[in-house]
A and B are shown apart, each in its own frame.
Chain A
């Protein structure tokens, strides 16, 4: 158990819909990272938040948005869902703001299926 929690574990929805994925980081970690893992693209970095502020942005679609709240939990919002958005979405947390030199701890993931 990494100490990072993600809810829900599974999500099935229809095209065009909007969903929210939730992540709670390990106690003491200020950074939260979101990743998408699909069969055809592998793991991709989406976005990072540090202590409530956006810190780094990767291949995140405009239909996707995220935020980190004062209690440090984070939410990833996916809207106008398409079939291609079906994937495993991972959240990770670490103590550092930037650099990637500290270990990132991954949650169990949310499996999103868009029908």
Chain B
């Protein structure tokens, strides 16, 4: 069964600090991995999309990495801001023809001033 596990479940950091969120998956065959940011009560917003051949992708202060051999991804947030407080969700799609996405449960990040 395809699964996506994220850690930590929640994280509290001080404004200006960096942090790294983890995503492990067992989705096979692999198509792509996406990271989303979701503010409470709102729709997710795409941060990065990576395919098998990509191992790093950046979007401003957000940098995602992918190790397809170990089936792990990380999302690094640099110089955190109060507006980074949100849930970060890892999504992995298979390539079995329909590209069905499997969602992680997310990491809830709180940035304190």
Contacts and interface: CB of A to CB of B under 8 A. Distances in A.
A42 interface: yes
Contact of A107 (B43, B98, B104, B105): B43
A26 to B, nearest CB: 12
Q: How large is the interface on A (under 10, 10 to 19, 20 to 34, 35 or more residues)?
A: 20 to 34
B42 A109 contact: yes
Contacts of A102: 49
Interface string A80-115: 000000001010100000111111111111000000
B105 A104 contact: no
B46 A99 contact: no
A43 B36 CA distance: 11
A92 B101 CA distance: 13
Interface string A57-92: 110000000000000000000000000000010101
Contacts of A108: 42-43
Given A101-B32, A101-B49, A101-B51, A56 B43 contact: no
B108 to A, nearest CB: 12
Contacts, number: 59
Contact of B99 (A92, A99, A105): A99
Contacts of A55: 98
Interface of A: 2, 4, 42-45, 55-58, 88, 90, 92, 98-109
Interface of B: 31-32, 34, 41-46, 49, 51, 89, 91, 93, 98-106
20 contacts: A2-B45, A42-B104, A42-B105, A42-B106, A43-B91, A43-B103, A45-B100, A45-B102, A45-B103, A98-B98, A100-B34, A101-B31, A103-B49, A104-B46, A105-B46, A106-B43, A107-B43, A108-B42, A109-B41, A109-B42
